[in-house]
Amino acid sequence: MIPVQGYEGAQVAVLGLGRSGFATARALRDGGAEAICWDDNPVAREKAEAEGFVCRDLLKQGAFEGVAALIVSPGIPHLYPEPNPVVKAALLAGVPVDNDIGLFFRSFATREWDMYETTPQVVAVTGSNGKSTTSALIHHVLTEAGRRTQLAGNIGRGVLDLEPAEDGEVVVLELSSYQTDLARSLTPDICVFTNLSPDHLDRHAGMGGYFAAKRRLFAEGGPDRVVVGVDEDEGLYLAGQLSEGAADDRVIRVSIERKLTAAGWNVFARKGFLSEYRKGRQAGSIDLRAIKGLPGAHNHQNACAAYAVCRALGLAPRVIEAAFASFGGLPHRSQIIAEANGVTFVNDSKATNVDAAKMALSAFKRIRWICGGLEKEGGLGDLGASASEVEKAYVIGREAAGFAMQLKGVETEVCTTMGKAVARAIEDAQEGEVVLLAPAAASFDQYDSFEKRGDDFSARVKGYLAQR
């Protein structure tokens, strides 16, 4: 655990007692602060009280008297679409509002670091799609290379649940826009921006606010080096803002759409081959085509970003390539869960927006596509060439009929439930085809999370195949 620094002897309020909330309360206590906790769920409050924490209704008159700060869990809105009432009460009382990411960055470095031969470093990864795979891949490469490393943030452990850093350690954090938007301290050593596509627009009042939340990670802390995907205008703009000129190798540009061979430091992937160029000359290359854990162009983009970070950390190209080969991928992200009778079954439940689904569709041929769920703001848009390999779409979700109507040029069947969609896709599938779950929508109309949706798909596929 990372004890929180700077609040010794002070009262700090904690709003939201999920995974990050409890970790925050414990880390505050370990740092000598008194955590005052609140959650609307009485079960969560009972759990907190059982651990010895004081619970106080933070909407009561005078609740913030003597409170030094309010720490908010990521899912709680602080500005748009409107502030949570507790957050607004804190702001009206003049109490600073922060989150666990801000506490981590103010507390991670300690005096013990003066004794270390190599200062620990933090790599922070953000973007719309691919940040989990990119973070996990960086962590995997470092582990395979024998480097001390921990992985946390929006993936795996909460940031304050990490162990204090050892000599030379690299901490890899996946950070969502919810986390970067509010954190009062953001000081990573290396930052990654994978890409940007419409998501969480209500939380950020549109694309401008969404991009601004991501941009804070790069603008607030002044990282030593940044890795930026430049295939969208926002990434191109961000790289331009951070660079002092074409030859500034503190900015590593990444692309899967075009060759990047100009001055500076560039990593790109074309037709399954990753290339690194520095000062206009090739410095490394990897054939990604045979790496099963990284299928499709979207994973090649993730590989480029991870490669760039690992090179910035001093690893050789051949070391990175060997580690890529042993990467098994992440659950619910282009995950091959079964192969039977010449049909491959792929779980990409994490494709919760249209751009992520397009990437998944572009990674495979002859697809039986299971899609649908809680549609996000902006609708489905034009699937374009990404739908050219779809043999048929099997639509799930409470609004399956409306979702299906938007799939122009694609044969559809309204199934509503996962069970029916899996059964019908298996019945129709021919040898050489792929049954792909890539919903292009959130899960919350039928499932608690995209993980639960993916688990349901996997269980039903395996159960149905066992009966055949």
Taking only the tens place, the pLDDT of each residue in 408-453 is 889 999 999 999 999 999 999 999 999 999 999 999 999 999 999 9
Shared-domain flag, residues 242 and 343: no
Shared-domain flag, residues 277 and 386: no
* pLDDT score recorded for residue 378: 61
Please report whether residue 330 resides in a domain.
Answer: no
Please report whether residue 2 resides in a domain.
Answer: no
DSSP 285-333: EEE-TT-TTS-HHHHHHHHHHHHHHHHHTT--HHHHHHHHHT----TTS
Q: CA 449 to CA 442: how far, in whole Å?
A: 8
Query: Three-class SS of residue 114?
Result: helix
Average pLDDT value for the chain: 94
Shared-domain flag, residues 319 and 340: no
Q: CA 301 to CA 293: how far, in whole Å?
A: 13
Please report whether residue 145 resides in a domain.
Answer: yes
Q: CATH number for the domain including 415?
A: 3.90.190.20
What's phi and psi for 149, nearest 5 deg? -155, 150
Q: How many CB atoms lie within 10 A of CB 91?
A: 16
Shared-domain flag, residues 383 and 256: no
pLDDT tens digits, one per residue of 214-225? 999 999 878 999
Shared-domain flag, residues 193 and 278: yes
Number of domains in the chain: 3
pTM of the model: 0.86
Please report whether residue 1 resides in a domain.
Answer: no
Shared-domain flag, residues 132 and 220: yes
Query: What are the tokens at 130?
Result: 């691919």
Query: What are the tokens at 416?
Result: 């509503």
Shared-domain flag, residues 372 and 404: yes
Band the pLDDT of 300: cuts 50, 70, 90: very high
Q: CATH number for the domain including 26?
A: 3.40.50.720
Query: What are the tokens at 459?
Result: 């269980």
- Write down the residue that tokens 């998944």 correspond to: 360
Query: Three-class SS of residue 278?
Result: strand
Please report whether residue 154 resides in a domain.
Answer: yes
Q: CA 238 to CA 127: how far, in whole Å?
A: 12
Please report whether residue 6 resides in a domain.
Answer: no
Nearest to 181 by CA among 219, 155, 152, 210: 210
Shared-domain flag, residues 134 and 93: no
Please report whether residue 259 resides in a domain.
Answer: yes
DSSP 117-148: SS--EEEEEE-SSSHHHHHHHHHHHHHHTT--
Query: What are the tokens at 426?
Result: 């298996």
The domain boundary, picked from 264, 293, 325, lies at 325
Expressed as residue numbers, the domain containing 450 is 335-467
Q: Which residues are annotated as a binding site?
A: 127-133
Q: CA 63 to CA 432: how far, in whole Å?
A: 63
Shared-domain flag, residues 36 and 78: yes
Shared-domain flag, residues 125 and 257: yes
Shared-domain flag, residues 73 and 148: no
Q: What 8-state DSSP symbol labels residue 363?
A: T
Q: Which residues are annotated as a binding site for ATP?
A: 127-133
Q: CA 423 to CA 413: how far, in whole Å?
A: 12
